[in-house]
Amino acid sequence: MTERMHLNLFTMNSVEHVSPGRWTYPGDQSHRYTDRDYWTEVARTAERGGFDAVFFADVRGIYDVYGGNRDSAIRNAIQTPANDPQALVPAMAEVTEHLGFAVTRSTTYTHPYQLARELSTLDHLTDGRIAFNIVTSYLESAAENLGLDERMDRQTRYDRADEFMDVCYALWEDSWEEDAVVQDRERGMYADPEKVHAIDYEGEFFSVPGPHSCEPSPQRTPVLYQAGSSDRGRDFAADNAEAVFVSQPTEAGTRSYIEDMRERAADRGRDPDSLLFFPGIVPIVGETEKLAREKHESFREHVSTEGTLTMLSGFLDMDLSQLDPDQNVEHIETDAIQGAMNAFTKNDPDREWTVREVAEFSGLGSTSPVVVGTPEQVADKLQYWFEEVGVHGFNVKEISRPGTLNDFVNLVVPILRERDLVREAYEGETLRENVLGAGQRRLRDDHPAKQ
Ligand SMILES: Cc1cc2nc3c(=O)[nH]c(=O)nc-3n(C[C@H](O)[C@H](O)[C@H](O)COP(=O)(O)O)c2cc1C
């Protein structure tokens, strides 16, 4: 177990992310996502709060399932428009020293040789502060835009993702020996060809001879985050993730998810305690409880129900405009985000949800618990989850920008620091050291990539 909480800001290089309607809130600055100054300020604030990383979600495609067209997605800015998150990293790294950057990249729509190069480059430029949030993507419209006739089914996406990661590991870990770069001016030898190896990967989806085009970056393999939560997604996370983003709306669901994931990690010869769990959390903080409740109410009034149903219809690949708001959500097997479906239908057998309830709940941060209260009350809740439920930290989800982050860092972090639950200073130089502990610059030896 790590001793202190890990904090990530969960955000997106777009107007809306997972709180539809947010941009209409008075004073909200979500529309400034195209402004570099907005993001550098976010980076400074997150580092001031001792956050491990800013975690950028990203999707390809448009949310056109609701009502069978894209009108609501465009009207409500549901993750469209969205700029490329990776391009923000150099600017945000420039104004910080320790903060990490987790970028979401899809194994379905990129090539591993290309992606390995991009992330190695960023890891060099940030002195080892990069994480890769591995996703397989879910929107049909992305497939159509990116050269496929239709979305690959989930199993094929994960088959491809397995191979994708094998290629990346071979490039990052095995291609360049540690002492391959000699920079010997007298002999005119920059790198020793004997120590730079082909990977000769031949698979069903990829054929990559290598070698990797980049010399080893500080972390070699970036820190690996994953969030898949279907059965196959969990296996994939147990094979690859160093930290898992938990997306369960209830404590019971979170507990059973963690238990299950630890078992899967142990089955693969990994130390289950080395796998970290970060649930999303939506903090709403006020100086008094009354103020916090008023804030909560006012945020709720600004939730866009249509926008939320549009987002969820994309997650589930199910047109929620066709359902009666008061009918219970029935379980279906979907080729989109099965985990989001399961969160409401399977993971907590004691709870049933109507369409309306799911929409109301999900409008403030999708499938994560909302915590409302004074700074002390919010800190108490996080401490409870950290000490009793067994999570290692939190993804702070924003329902106002930059208000959620500012309130959290200015009001809650000082209390968590008084309780020695959040770092005063960063322990390590690289992101992996700050996530897994000082000295852990590289993948652990029990990670499947090393076996
Ligand atoms: C907390 C969380 C964050 C996610 N972020 C993204 C994202 O930014 N982009 C994306 O394409 N998929 C994202 N996903 C989707 C998953 O990575 C995965 O592709 C999807 O859940 C389908 O797999 P599953 O059915 O195993 O859950 C996210 C899922 C969760 C639970």
Show me where the domains of the chain are located. 6-450
- Rg (C-alpha) for the chain, rounded Å, is 21
Residue nearest to atom 16 of ligand 1 (CA): 228
Q: How far is the CA of 399 from the centre of ligand 1 (A)?
A: 19
Q: How far is the CA of 223 from the centre of ligand 1 (A)?
A: 17
Question: Tens of pLDDT along 13-67?
Answer: 999 999 999 999 999 999 999 999 999 999 999 999 999 999 999 998 999 999 9
Answer yes or no: is the C-beta of 61 below 6 A from any ligand 1 atom: no
Per-residue pLDDT, 389: 95
CB of 364 within 8 A of CB of 180? no
Answer yes or no: is the C-beta of 59 below 6 A from any ligand 1 atom: yes
- Neighbouring CB atoms inside 10 A of 386's CB total 20
- Kindly state the tokens that stand for 161: 């993702």
Question: Tens of pLDDT along 272-283?
Answer: 999 999 999 999
CB of 6 within 8 A of CB of 391? no
Residue nearest to atom 22 of ligand 1 (CA): 337
Answer yes or no: is the C-beta of 57 below 6 A from any ligand 1 atom: yes
Question: Tens of pLDDT along 209-221?
Answer: 999 999 999 999 9
Answer yes or no: is the C-beta of 247 below 6 A from any ligand 1 atom: yes
Q: How far is the CA of 293 from the centre of ligand 1 (A)?
A: 31
Per-residue pLDDT, 349: 77
Q: How far is the CA of 153 from the centre of ligand 1 (A)?
A: 14
At 324, which amino acid appears? D
CA separation for the pair 423, 182 (Å, rounded): 37
Question: Which residues of the chain, if any, have pLDDT below 50?
Answer: 1-2
- Kindly state the tokens that stand for 219: 């972390």
Per-residue pLDDT, 2: 47
What element of type H or E holds 156?
helix 154-169
- Kindly state the tokens that stand for 213: 């085009």
Residue nearest to atom 6 of ligand 1 (CA): 57
- Kindly state the tokens that stand for 66: 């609701």
Taking each helix axis as running N to C, give the angle between helix 154-169 and helix 231-240, from 0 to 180 degrees, rounded to the nearest 10. Answer: 0
Closest by Cα among 385, 378, 353 to 285: 378
Tell me the CATH number for domain 6-450: 3.20.20.30
CA separation for the pair 283, 376 (Å, rounded): 12
Per-residue pLDDT, 258: 96
